[in-house]
Amino acid sequence: MRRPTLEAVAARAGVSRATASRVVNGSETVHAQIRDAVLRAVDELGYVPNSAARSLVTRRTDSIGLVVSEPPAAEDPLFSVLVRAVGRELERVGKQVVLMLASSSAAYARIERYVAGGHVDGVILLSTHGADPLPAALARSHVPVVSYGRPVATVSLPYCDCDNVGGARAAARHLLERGRWRIAAIAGPPDMPAGRDRLAGYRDVLSAADRRSLVAMGDFTRESGAAAMRQLLLDGPDLDAVFAATDLMAIGALHTLRRMGRRVPDDVAVVGFDDIEEARYTDPALTSVRTPVAAVAEAIVQRLLGPDRFAEPTVLPAELIVRDSS
């Protein structure tokens, strides 16, 4: 059976091909009665627009690239939350998401060519490390780009983010208010803006309270959190609280504290960051700073598709969720 053509739709509706094309492409300049007749003909014939041909005419693909500059860790639950949130927001405005993962220099080049070739109408970039070449490459592509999270300082891109500094300050203040004296931190990689910002927020509060920082580095994973906690106990055996820059690292810290015979929160209070679903089910339940992933995704889509992409960055507040671990 032959696929219905736009000419057949026009003939069924009693209009010209040009008028039928305007209706199918969403033009608002067609009279409502004529538009209804064309849409009725589309339904009756089962007409499906040729997206490739329409893209040539409209110069739109109705696709947005979600570019992830390195494959997420298998255990990272925030990645799936982010993809679902972005997908929902794009679907709401009639766009589809094209997920692109960069895992090698060849993949970087392929993504750059794909974007520059006009296959997507815009890009949402998730870039984490300072040495990542993609932000600069995409900035040169003349395709609208908005970053999820503050990009590295060497690249000027519009972005939306949560308040990482403010969230870390809230976590550190909470521990001080609970009477904790020796508060340590498990920080993220220093070449990642989120890692730097969360460490800066922790240090701001301790400095203002005339307390000395005690920091071990991790890479946002459980394993690194467990190892960092072991190092902190060696460096500061009198510590009575720890702030971890992600929940996964906090969960690793809980494992180490349990193995070392430290009770949580009696001996050591623990606070994480991100408020992943697993935080509610640790033993004890983990106090955490909630990142508004869905709200940030909505802000990014609005920024990407709106008229004022280069306005001031959108930074949404993070919320401290207090549970039994502190």
In CATH terms, the fold of domain 6-58 is 434 Repressor (Amino-terminal Domain) (1.10.260)
- For residue 292, what are its two tokens? 């508004």
- Mean pLDDT of the 274-292 span: 96
Residue 28, pLDDT > 80, answer no
- Mean pLDDT of the 58-79 span: 76
Rounding to the nearest 10 degrees, give the CA dihedral for residues 116, 119, 124, 126: -70
Residue 52, pLDDT > 60, answer no
Cα separation, 32 vs 321, in Å, equals 51
pTM, to two decimals:
0.79
> Highest-confidence range of 26-40, 153-167, 281-295, by mean pLDDT?
281-295
Report pLDDT for 130.
66
Give the rounded percent of residues in the chain with a pLDDT score beyond 70: 92
In 3D space, the residue among 228, 218, 214 whose CA is nearest the CA of residue 184 turns out to be: 214
Lowest mean pLDDT among 130-144, 189-203, 241-255, 302-316: 130-144
Residue 1, pLDDT > 70, answer no
- pLDDT tens by residue, 113-152: 888 878 898 999 987 666 677 887 887 778 889 999 888 7
Higher per-residue confidence, 25 vs 235? 235
Report pLDDT for 74.
59
Report pLDDT for 123.
92
Report pLDDT for 55.
47
Whether 256 contacts 239, CB under 8 Å? no
Residues sharing a CB contact under 8 Å with residue 124, sequence separation 6 or more, in sequence order: 64, 65, 66, 67, 86, 145, 146, 147, 148, 300, 301, 304
Provide the edge-to-edge strand list for the sheet that holds 269-274: 215-217, 183-187, 241-244, 269-274, 287-290, 319-321
Q: Do domains 6-58 and 63-161+293-316 have the same CATH topology?
A: no
Cα separation, 23 vs 38, in Å, equals 7
Q: In DSSP terms, which residues pair with 273 in a beta bridge?
A: 289
pLDDT band of 154, cuts 50, 70, 90: low
Residues sharing a CB contact under 8 Å with residue 205, sequence separation 6 or more, in sequence order: 168, 169, 172, 173, 176
Residue 17, pLDDT > 60, answer yes
Domain 164-292 is in which class? alpha beta
Report pLDDT for 83.
87
Kind of pairing, strands 287-290 and 319-321?
antiparallel
Lowest mean pLDDT among 5-9, 159-163, 237-241: 5-9
> Highest-confidence range of 163-172, 183-192, 295-304, by mean pLDDT?
163-172
- For residue 183, what are its two tokens? 């508060």
Residue 155, pLDDT > 80, answer no
Residue 178, pLDDT > 70, answer yes
Helices 193-208 and 164-177, packing angle to 10 deg: 40
Higher per-residue confidence, 41 vs 258? 258
pLDDT band of 26, cuts 50, 70, 90: confident
Whether 158 contacts 311, CB under 8 Å? yes
Higher per-residue confidence, 69 vs 297? 297
Residues sharing a CB contact under 8 Å with residue 293, sequence separation 6 or more, in sequence order: 78, 81, 82, 85
Residue 56, pLDDT > 50, answer no
Cα separation, 79 vs 176, in Å, equals 31
Residue 58, pLDDT > 60, answer no
In CATH terms, the fold of domain 63-161+293-316 is Rossmann fold (3.40.50)
- Mean pLDDT of the 301-310 span: 84
What is the overall mean pLDDT for the chain? 88
Domain ranges of the chain: 6-58, 63-161+293-316, 164-292
Residues sharing a CB contact under 8 Å with residue 90, sequence separation 6 or more, in sequence order: 64, 96, 97, 301
Report pLDDT for 47.
80
Cα separations in angstroms, 202 against 46, 130, 164, 196, 208: 60, 21, 10, 10, 10
